[in-house]
Structures are given as C-alpha cells and as structure tokens.
Structure 1
Amino acid sequence: MPKSSPIAELYTEHHAWLHGWLRRKLGCLDQAADLAQETFVRVMSSERAEMASWREPRAYLTTIARNLVNDHWRRQELERAYLEALAMQPEAQAPSPETRMLIMETLLRIDQCLSALPPLTRRIFLRSQLDGLVYADIAQEMEISLATVKRHMSAAFLACLSMA
C-alpha cells in the first residue's frame, strides 16, 4: 500500500478538529466547511507544503484559518456597508445584480490592496484619495517631509497597479 502524503495525513488527523474550531468561531456549519477546505488548499499551495511534519500542526492550521476568518468578516462588513449605501439610492439608480457583483469584487480587491499596505502608507494614501488632501497638506498634518509623502504615495500606487 502506498505511503500517504504528509498533507493527506495532516488533513486526516486535523480536518474534523479544524472544522469544529471554525464552526464555533463562525456559528455556521457551511461557512466553517468552506474555510476548513480553504485552509488546506492554502497549506497545499504554501512553501511549507512539502514538509514531512509540522512541529505544531494545529497552531499552523489555526493561524491560516484565523486569517481566513478575518478576511471573511472583513468581506462581510464591506458587503454590508455596500448594501447599506445601495439601499439609500433611489430604486431607479440601483445597479443591476451583475453590476453589483462587479462592484463588490472591485471593492474586495481594493480592500485587499489597502490591507497589504504598511499602516503609514495606507493612511497617507487614504488622506490623499478619499479626503482629497494634497501632498503638502498631508506632510504638514502628519509632520513628515513632502518627499516621504511622495515615496509612500508612489508605493501605494504601485501596489494598486499590481493588483489590477
């Protein structure tokens, strides 16, 4: 009989436990099942997938799953905020379901991009793009140099372009 892979063993030994942990966190059996599967997909696609054994497999799986849960909650919050904004629009201006889905996907990509930025870069970028501040005003407000603002804005724009 062929020897099973380390990932197959990891799955067999810890999937039920992980599913239960996620179910308690999320309160939903189906979402827990989805995120448990996604956790193992991430394990398989990670650089550590070839390891014969993990020192603390549950800690490793929990870390991946916790990040997925955080992404899930952030996505739900973003969807809720978008639906609230839509509800405030006159019905004649409401986008079609297809357009809503495209907008939601775009919002999620923007959120991913912004979440990946360092905090200072994100703050500078948002002050410029959402609040309409010019670079000099941002530099003065944050008590940093204009060159620093420009450097962070350049990094933010590059990050956004790489997500496109």
Structure 2
Amino acid sequence: MTAISTQHAEQVEKLYLENRTWLSIFIQRRLGCPDDTADLIHDTYMRILTCGYLPQKHESKRFLTHIAKGLLIDSYRRQQVKKAYEQYLQQLPEQYVPSAEEHVLMLESLVSIDALLHRLPDKVREALLLRQLDNLSYKEIAKRLNVSVSSVEKYVAKALQACMADIIQD
C-alpha cells in the first residue's frame, strides 16, 4: 500500500467537508439506504486518498460524481451476483448447501470473476464465455460474433491473459 502524504490527506479532508452533503444526497437518492450511502461515501473518498489525484475546485463535483457512479455500478453488480447465487443455493438439496464460510468465500470469488469479466471488452468477454461455458468451437464463435476465427483466437487469448494477470496479482 502506498503512503499518503499529510498534505494530500488534508486536501482530501477539505474536499470531503466541502462536498459531503450534496454527495450524500446524490448517493442516497440512488440507494435509499443510509448505511449503504455512508459506506459508499467512505469508499469514494478512500479511492481519492489512494489514487493520489485531486481535481481542481471547479471539477470536484464532476470528479466525485464519476467515482460515486462507478461505485454504485459496482455495488449493483455485487447485489445481482449475490441474488443469483442465493437463488442457485435455494435450488440445492440441503446436504449440498455450503457452510457460512464457504458461502462468503464463494460469493467473494463470484464478485471478483464478475468484475474481471466486466473489465474486458465486450467481444473478448463474449468469446471467452461462449468458449468456456457453451463449449463452442472457435469457428462457431466466429460465426456468432461475425468475426474471423483468428479474431476469436486473439479474443480468447486476451481474456485468458487477463484472468492469469488477475490471479498473479492476488
């Protein structure tokens, strides 16, 4: 983790004090939950603290909005993954339901995979999913995506490289 200078921390604190009310209202309107709103505000400023960039005063609301919207999207995706996983678990026989610890670990893994897939370009993601989940051949994927077989090969290779890079980072 990178060290945060005192000056940068003070500037972020000033940014927080100047914008906390409207940012809270902005997020609250989209979430409807005060606890989740507080968490998202915290995450927004943590991103700013750790990224090392501070916007000019006239750009601060736009910058904060951009970060908050990204975090809202991430939160929504996490909720969708959680909901889908919980629906899947409801269909399992009792003896196959994971323990609480396994449940948390699986949910973390699924959220990580979802985030990784959403960082990939659309055709790269689609090619990987068609190959891995639907077990389609490169030729079938090329036909479905309306691209050449060599493009599909590149897409799948790029997706697998991204997956490996993500594994190595962890």
Compute the TM-score of the two structures, normalised by the length of structure 1: 0.92
Q: How does 1:1-164 map to 2 (within 5 A)?
A: 5-49=10-54, 53-164=56-167
Number of equivalent positions: 160
Equivalent residue of 1:131, what SS? coil
Does structure 1 conserve the Cα–Cα contact (< 8 Å) formed by 2:23 and 2:41? Answer: yes
CA-CA distance at 1:5 after TM superposition: 3.0
Higher mean displacement: 137-146 or 114-123: 137-146
Distance, in Å, in 1 between the alignment partners of 2:73 and 2:10 is 29
Residue identity opposite 2:82 in structure 1:
E
- Structure-1 residue corresponding to 2:4: none
Tell me how far 1:76 sits from its aligned partner: 0.4
Name the amino acid aligned to 1:20.
Answer: I
| Counterpart AA for 2:17 | T
1:122–1:156 contact (8 Å) kept in structure 2: yes
Unmatched 5+ stretches in structure 2: 1-6
Q: Given that residues 75 and 108 in structure 1 are in contact (C-alpha distance below 8 angstroms), is that contact kept between their aligned partners in structure 2?
A: yes
Structure 2 CA distance for aligned equivalents of residues 8 and 92 of structure 1: 51
> Are the equivalent residues in 2 in contact too, given 1:19–1:36 (CA < 8 A)?
yes
Unaligned runs of 5+ in 1: none
Q: CA deviation at 1:140?
A: 2.4
Give the deviation of 1:43 after TM superposition: 1.0
Cα 1:141–1:24 change in 2 (3 A) is closer
Range with bigger deviation, 131-140 or 152-161 = 131-140
1:15 alignment partner AA: R
Q: Check whether the contact 1:23–1:32 (CA below 8 A) recurs between aligned residues.
A: yes
Superposition deviation, residue 47 in structure 1: 4.1
Runs ≥4 residues deviating over 4 A: none
Q: Deviations over 1:59-98 (max 9, x none)?
A: 1101100110111011001100000000000111111111
Partner-residue secondary structure (3-state), 1:13: helix
Report if aligned partners of 1:109, 1:163 keep a CA contact under 8 Å in 2.
no
Contact 1:39 / 1:68 at 8 angstroms: preserved in 2?
A: yes
What is the identity percentage for the equivalent residue pairs of Structure 1 and Structure 2? 34
Counterpart contact for 2:123–2:145, Cα < 8 Å: no
3-state SS, counterpart of residue 76 of structure 2: helix
